[in-house]
């Protein structure tokens, strides 16, 4: 990579979120709590779905992968952020930086398409329930997941390739708390126009290609729900997709705010706040959104607790 051939230093320096030692300490405690909650929440969600046979359905198949993505997604960013909050030299190797950028891109893009697949699943369940088992077959579910990961890997590979071929002969200080595309581009002394255009096109491709089936699904779902005569029927139908709709709104809102704009409009303060939200906070919120608002998950937890109590009593 040219990045290694045109520098005498082997590391980038991450500026982080603040220079204040007091605020750094507060943030380190807060982020540690959030990360522990993220690991516990997403691991528990995957375990509950695995152990409860009644949750072995397409919707929870996708939710398992969403929890897995959130767990790895947070792990790619948060531990390094915690380390840099607690030490004076906030460095990351060139290789480590591009590895972080790659996995961040892979996981973020994959999550977009898994959320889209979940919306399609809810569309079939509400608008075409009689054919649901046939349409949402195991083969189709695995195909949707495979395609999601493939698009994520391709998107991340192209992005990292374009950025890694640039020369970095300016300051090595990244004005961010992790290795994101636009802050890295700002350090290059090469012409970054092609890389910026590529990233913008890929971001647009990801948003449009995942939002079209997602929004189409919810338009059809809303139309179907409005045709239901009973208020209880409407409530039951809406409750099956309310959690997913909330998760989609939070995730896409922050991602679009950050990436669907030219790099020149990058704002350190505003974009860092948005980045903290979608890289650290949202992976913690998703298990809460999909469990606290989901009666099936609550019932599964109660069944597992009762099963555990019965096995203890039997002993």
Domain residue spans of the chain = 2-314
- Per mean pLDDT, which range of 118-132, 159-173, 230-244, 280-294 is the poorest? 230-244
More confident residue, 56 or 315: 56
- Mean pLDDT lowest for which of 46-60, 74-88, 94-108, 284-298? 284-298
Tell me the CA end-to-end span of the chain in Å, nearest whole number: 62
Confidence label for 266 from pLDDT (cuts 50, 70 and 90): low
Query: How is domain 2-314 classified at the CATH fold level?
Result: Rhopdopsin 7-helix transmembrane proteins (1.20.1070)
Residue 221 has pLDDT above 60, yes or no: yes
Q: Is the pLDDT of residue 233 over 80?
A: no
Mean pLDDT of the chain: 83
Backbone angles phi, psi at 12, to 5 degrees: -95, 160
Quick one: pLDDT at residue 186? 85
Residue 170 DSSP code: S
Give the three-state DSSP class for 304.
helix
Tens of pLDDT, residue by residue over 27-49, are 999 999 999 999 999 999 999 89
**Residue predicted with more confidence, 76 or 301:** 76
pLDDT at 205: 87
Predicted local confidence at residue 267, as pLDDT: 53
DSSP secondary structure string for all residues of 104-166 = HHHHHHHHHHHHHHHHHHHHHHHHSGGGHHHHT-HHHHHHHHHHHHHHHHHHHHHHHHHHHTS
What the block records as the tokens of 177 is: 């708390």
What integer pLDDT is reported at residue 37 of this predicted model?
Answer: 94
Q: If pLDDT is split at 50, 70 and 90, which confidence band does 309 have?
A: low
Q: Is the pLDDT of residue 239 over 80?
A: no
Of 303, 231, 297, 312, nearest in space to 57 by CA: 297
Q: What percent of the chain has pLDDT over 70?
A: 87
Q: What pLDDT, on a 0 to 100 scale, did the predictor assign at position 268?
A: 54
**Cα–Cα distance for residue pair 291/269, rounded to 1 Å:** 32
Alpha-carbon distance values, 103 to 123, 179, 192, 296 (Å): 30, 11, 22, 32
Q: Are 138 and 121 a contacting pair, CB within 8 Å?
A: no
- Sole residue written with tokens 């089936």: 213
The total number of residues shown for the chain amounts to 315
Percent with pLDDT over 90 in the chain:
31
pLDDT of res. 276: 84
Q: Which of 155-164, 188-197, 246-255 has the lowest mean pLDDT?
A: 246-255
Least confident of 78-87, 88-97, 200-209, 268-277: 268-277
Distance (Å, whole) CA 97 – CA 263: 19
With a cut of 90, say whether residue 229 has pLDDT above it.
Answer: no
Give residue 9's pLDDT: 52
CB 187 within 8 A of CB 167: no
Predicted TM-score (pTM) of the model is: 0.86
- Res. 2: pLDDT tops 50: no
What pLDDT digit, counting tens, does each position of 128-179 carry?
889 999 999 999 999 999 999 999 999 999 999 989 888 887 678 888 889 9
């Amino acid at each position: 990579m040219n990045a290694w051939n045109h520098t005498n230093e082997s590391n980038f320096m991450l500026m982080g979120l603040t220079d204040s030692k007091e605020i750094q300490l507060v943030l380190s405690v807060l982020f540690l709590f959030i990360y522990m909650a993220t690991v516990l929440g997403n691991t528990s969600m995957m375990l509950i779905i695995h152990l409860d046979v009644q949750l072995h359905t397409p919707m929870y198949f996708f939710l398992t992968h969403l929890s897995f993505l959130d767990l790895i997604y947070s792990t790619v960013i948060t531990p390094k952020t915690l380390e840099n909050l607690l030490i004076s030299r906030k460095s990351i190797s060139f290789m480590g930086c591009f590895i972080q950028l790659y996995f961040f891109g892979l996981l973020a893009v994959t999550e977009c398409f898994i959320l889209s697949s979940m919306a399609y699943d809810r569309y079939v369940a509400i608008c075409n329930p009689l054919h649901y088992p046939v349409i949402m077959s195991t083969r189709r579910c695995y195909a949707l997941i495979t395609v999601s990961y493939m698009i994520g890997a391709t998107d991340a590979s192209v992005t990292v390739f374009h950025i890694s071929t640039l020369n970095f002969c300016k300051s090595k200080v990244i004005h961010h708390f992790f290795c994101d595309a636009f802050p890295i581009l700002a350090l290059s002394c090469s012409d970054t126009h092609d890389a910026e255009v590529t990233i913008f096109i890929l971001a647009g491709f990801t948003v449009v290609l995942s939002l079209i089936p997602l929004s189409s699904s919810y338009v059809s779902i809303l139309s179907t729900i409005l045709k239901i005569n009973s208020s209880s029927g409407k409530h039951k139908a809406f409750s099956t997709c309310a959690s997913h709709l909330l998760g989609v709104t939070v995730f896409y809102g922050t991602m679009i705010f950050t990436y669907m704009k030219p790099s020149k409009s990058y704002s350190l303060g505003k974009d860092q706040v948005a980045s903290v939200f979608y890289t650290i906070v949202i992976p913690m919120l998703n298990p809460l959104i999909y469990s606290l608002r989901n009666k099936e998950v609550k019932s599964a937890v109660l069944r597992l607790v009762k099963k555990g109590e019965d096995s203890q009593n039997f002993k």
